[in-house]
Amino acid sequence: MQGLIDRLKALLADGTVARVIGWKKGDMSYNPTPAIFNSVEDLDEFVYDGFCGANLSKMMIDATKLEGKTAVLLKPCDSYSFNQLIREHRVNRDNAYIIGIACRGKLDIERAKATGIKGITEVTGTEHDGADTVTFKTLYGDKEVAYNEIMLGRCYMCKGKEHVIADEVIGESKDTAVVDRFAQVAEIEAMSSAEKFEFFKKELSKCIRCNACRNVCPCCSCRKCVFDSTKFDSQQKANVDSFEEKMFHIIRAFHVAGRCTDCGECSRVCPQGIPLHLFNKKFIKDIDTFYGEFQAGKDPEAQSPLTAFTFEDVEPKIVSERSKG
Amino acid sequence: MPMINGEFRPKIVAFCCNWCSYGGADLAGSSRLSYPADVKIIRVPCSGRVNPMFILRAFERGADGVIICGCHPGDCHYSTGNYYARRRMTLLFSMLEYIGIENGRTRVEWVSAAEGVKFQATMNEFVEKVKSLGENVRLGDLRCKD
Q: How many Cβ pairs closer than 8 A exist between chain A and B?
A: 118
Q: Which helix (H) or strand (E) holds B16?
A: strand B12-17
Judge whether B97 and A192 are in contact, CB under 8 Å: no
**Contact call for B87 and A313, based on CB within 8 A:** yes
Assess if residue B139 is contained within a domain: no
Q: Is B143's pLDDT higher than 70?
A: no
Q: How far apart are CA A100 and CA A73, in angstroms?
A: 6
**Alpha carbon B69 to chain centroid distance?**
7
B-chain CB neighbours of A253 within 8 Å are 95
Q: pTM of the full predicted structure?
A: 0.92
pLDDT digits (tens, 9 = 90+) for B35-67: 999 999 999 999 999 999 999 989 988 899 999
A289 touches chain B (CB under 8 A): no
Q: Per mean pLDDT, which range of A144-148, A234-238, B80-84 is the poorest?
A: A234-238
Who among A197, A282, A320 is closest to B95 (CB)?
A282
**Contact call for B142 and A254, based on CB within 8 A:** no
A197 touches chain B (CB under 8 A): yes
Can you say whether residue A229 is alpha, beta or left, with left for phi > 0 and alpha for psi between -120 and 50 degrees?
A: beta
**Contact call for B91 and A286, based on CB within 8 A:** yes
Assess if residue B143 is contained within a domain: no
Mean pLDDT for the stretch of residues A147-158: 92
A316 touches chain B (CB under 8 A): yes
What string of DSSP letters covers A170-211?
Answer: ES-------S-TTHHHHHHHTS-HHHHHHHHHHHHTT-----
Assess if residue B3 is contained within a domain: no
Distances (CA, A) of A62 to A4, A56, A69, A252, B55: 24, 11, 12, 22, 35
B-chain CB neighbours of A286 within 8 Å are 90-91, 94-95
pLDDT digits (tens, 9 = 90+) for A181-232: 999 999 999 999 889 988 998 898 888 888 899 999 999 988 888 887 777 7
Assess if residue B54 is contained within a domain: yes
E strands, chain A, in order: 19-24, 33-37, 70-74, 96-101, 120-124, 133-138, 141-146, 168-170
List, as ranges, residues 99-118 from A with C-beta within 8 Å of B. Answer: none
Q: How far apart are CA A80 and CA A161, in angstroms?
A: 11
Judge whether A317 and B107 are in contact, CB under 8 Å: yes
Q: Per mean pLDDT, which range of A127-136, A154-163, B7-16, B131-140 is the poorest?
A: B131-140
Burial A272-302 (b: 16+ CB within 10 A, else e): eebbbbbbbbbbbbbbeebbeebbbbbeeee
Q: How far apart are CA A216 and CA A265, in angstroms?
A: 7
Q: How far apart are CA B103 and CA B109, in angstroms?
A: 14
Assess if residue B144 is contained within a domain: no
pLDDT category of residue B144 using cuts at 50, 70 and 90 = low
Mean pLDDT for the stretch of residues A122-140: 89
Q: Interhelix angle for B52-60 vs B81-98, to 10°?
A: 40
A279 touches chain B (CB under 8 A): yes
A-chain CB neighbours of B91 within 8 Å are 254, 257, 283, 286-287, 290, 306
User: In which domain, by residue range, is B119 found?
Assistant: 10-134
Residue B141 CB burial class (10 angstroms; 0-12, 13-18, ≥19): middle
**Contact call for A242 and B145, based on CB within 8 A:** yes
Who among B53, B86, B89 is closest to A251 (CB)?
B53
CATH number at B114 reads 3.40.50
Q: Is B141's pLDDT higher than 70?
A: no
Higher pLDDT, A249 or A131: A249
Percent of chain A scoring above 70 in pLDDT: 96
What's B104's DSSP letter?
G
**Contact call for B90 and A257, based on CB within 8 A:** no
pLDDT category of residue B146 using cuts at 50, 70 and 90 = very low
Judge whether A11 and A39 are in contact, CB under 8 Å: no
A-chain CB neighbours of B122 within 8 Å are none
pLDDT digits (tens, 9 = 90+) for A255-303: 999 999 999 999 999 999 999 999 999 999 999 999 999 999 999 888 9
Q: Is A240's pLDDT higher than 70?
A: no
pLDDT category of residue B1 using cuts at 50, 70 and 90 = low
Residue A179 CB burial class (10 angstroms; 0-12, 13-18, ≥19): exposed
Task: Find, among B137, B58, B90, the residue nearest to A193 by Cα.
Answer: B137
CA geometry: angle at B76 spanning B75 and B82, to 5°? 115
How many domains are there within chain B?
Answer: 1
